[in-house]
Structure 1
Amino acid sequence: MPVAGNAFHVARSLQVHDNAAEKNGIKLLIGFDFHEYVSIARATPTKGPTFPNFRPDRSPIKEGEGYWIIGLDKNNNVAGLEAARLYDLSHTNFAEHLRSLKAFYADPAMHAHPEDRCICTAPSAKKMTGKVAYHGDLWVRRDFRGKGVRKILTRVTHAVSFAMWAPDFLCAIVERWTLDKNVDDMLHHEPGGAILRLVEDDIVEDNWLSWETGEELRSWFDRCSRTDLSLATSLSST
């Protein structure tokens, strides 16, 4: 777990980003029941399908190994969502976890469609072992895009994942446009993260691997403390 000093930095970061969200007209809440999450996501207009790794009917998440963040507007309508879960990859690596489809299904033989496929060629994915925090299902409503809300959500999830798990790696599978528009908030990016086909959910994607180490995540909070979280504060005035 993070040492006390870093826990304090995380708490400060959460407070600053919560204030930034409030100034954008958004109230942030955290949840742990993924049945509730799926229900909210399915009822949210324009949001795409929730990946099976966040669906408890396909990949149950143990208590303490997953959470989600929801942003509500002034009318309590959903303005943003993001989910996170912890993978224990002590005896494997993230590339193999993707290729085997175990990243998406607790039991691929039972739940995966016969034509489901995931190819991962990103070199760093093979080096990602131990406690791997995976972030995904990020969605921001159109009228809140371009206002810094996406970065607020991702930085809140980074803080919560660090505080809960102190992971060895933090990662996501992202579309190329997030890199082109510089809205992805991780330090490293590689093509070939997941050439993916999930038939049941009509998901066909060719995504990049976005990642950073646990030590880099820890250093980010240290830098935030030294600069009084000036970067996060600037988001609140966007």
Structure 2
Amino acid sequence: MHDDATALEVSTYICSLDRKARKAGVRFRMGDDFEEYLSITSKIAGKYPTFPNFRPDCSQLEPGKAFWVVGEDRFSKVAHVQAVRVDDLAPTNLADHLESLKACYVDPARHAGPGSSCVCVAPTARIISGIVAYHGDLWLRSDLRGRGLARTLAGVAFGLAWAKWSPDFIYALVPSWLIQKGVADQYGYLHREAHGSVLSLPDRDIEDDDWLIWLTQPELSQLIKSSATETIERLS
């Protein structure tokens, strides 16, 4: 599409977010080795365990189809993590993808424990299809919360996802408290529906009822373009 964010706009967008994070004391690095990512996240005190979606023993996380971002403070201590993966849902839709447990496991019949299930009630999930990016495992250390970093951190994921895949949709699954506190709005997601993933994985002590939040491709492109334009005008 002729209105898609250009490579220059994406670069400007990501660089501006990187500068904001550095001013707040966070430096990013990224990768696609999820064995390394899991070794990092498993040592973070107070963070919930990384879900199967981003565990290499459960999901296919091939280079080019998934990446992670780690933020470190000035002492090289982990201050932030998040991850993004992309799935080709052209033959199906997000609701079926979630309910089949393929969002969690490459082979649910082999990997999912007894009693595992997922129900998706969010109506728009039935029409979310095509190239779909999932944004999850987002965590920020407690001493850095409340500093307005939510949009910066999510924005880095948005920019990198656009640069790699220009997805038809990007979505996240978040608990009700993130909706109630307005954190989902701070991330930059424009849409939300309740009961996007009512997930039960008894063998992993997971019992969640998450909201579905998402952006469409044109909305993601416009977010990047608008922010890049503001940055360029401010610097000119």
Note the C-alpha offset of 1:176.
1.4
Cα pair 1:13 1:229 within 8 Å, conserved: no
Paired position in structure 2 for 1:201? 204
Aligned equivalents of 2:183, 2:98: Cα separation in 1: 24
Moved more, 177-186 or 159-168: 177-186
Note the C-alpha offset of 1:226.
3.2
Paired position in structure 1 for 2:114? 114
Number of corresponding residues: 232
Q: Which amino acid aligns with 2:117?
A: R
Aligned equivalents of 1:12, 1:56: Cα separation in 2: 32
**Matching of residue 149 in structure 1 with residue 149 in structure 2:** yes
Q: Which amino acid aligns with 1:211?
A: W
Identity level (%): 42
Note the C-alpha offset of 1:18.
0.6
User: Residue deviations 1:101-150, cap 9 Å, x none?
Assistant: 00000000000012111110101101011100000001011111111222
Cα pair 1:69 1:153 within 8 Å, conserved: no
Moved more, 8-17 or 216-225: 216-225
Q: Which amino acid aligns with 2:192?
A: H
Aligned equivalents of 2:170, 2:191: Cα separation in 1: 10
Match among 211, 229, 234 for residue 226 of structure 1: 229
> 4+ runs of 1 displaced by more than 3 Å?
1-5
Note the C-alpha offset of 1:62.
1.8
SS of the residue corresponding to residue 231 of structure 2 reads: coil
RMSD: 2.0
Aligned equivalents of 2:51, 2:35: Cα separation in 1: 13
Which sections of structure 1, spanning at least 5 residues, go unmatched?
A: 234-238
Moved more, 16-25 or 196-205: 196-205
Aligned equivalents of 2:98, 2:232: Cα separation in 1: 35
**Matching of residue 72 in structure 1 with residue 75 in structure 2:** no
Note the C-alpha offset of 1:228.
2.7
Match runs of 1:1-238 below 5 Å: 6-184=6-184, 185-228=188-231
Note the C-alpha offset of 1:230.
8.7
Q: Which amino acid aligns with 1:104?
A: C
Cα pair 2:9 2:229 within 8 Å, conserved: no
User: Residue deviations 1:123-181, cap 9 Å, x none?
Assistant: 11010111000000010111111112222110000000001000000101011111222
Which sections of structure 2, spanning at least 5 residues, go unmatched?
A: none
Note the C-alpha offset of 1:65.
0.3
Note the C-alpha offset of 1:63.
1.8
Cα pair 2:4 2:218 within 8 Å, conserved: no
TM-score (norm 1): 0.92
Aligned equivalents of 1:202, 1:230: Cα separation in 2: 49
Aligned equivalents of 1:39, 1:150: Cα separation in 2: 24
Paired position in structure 2 for 1:236? none
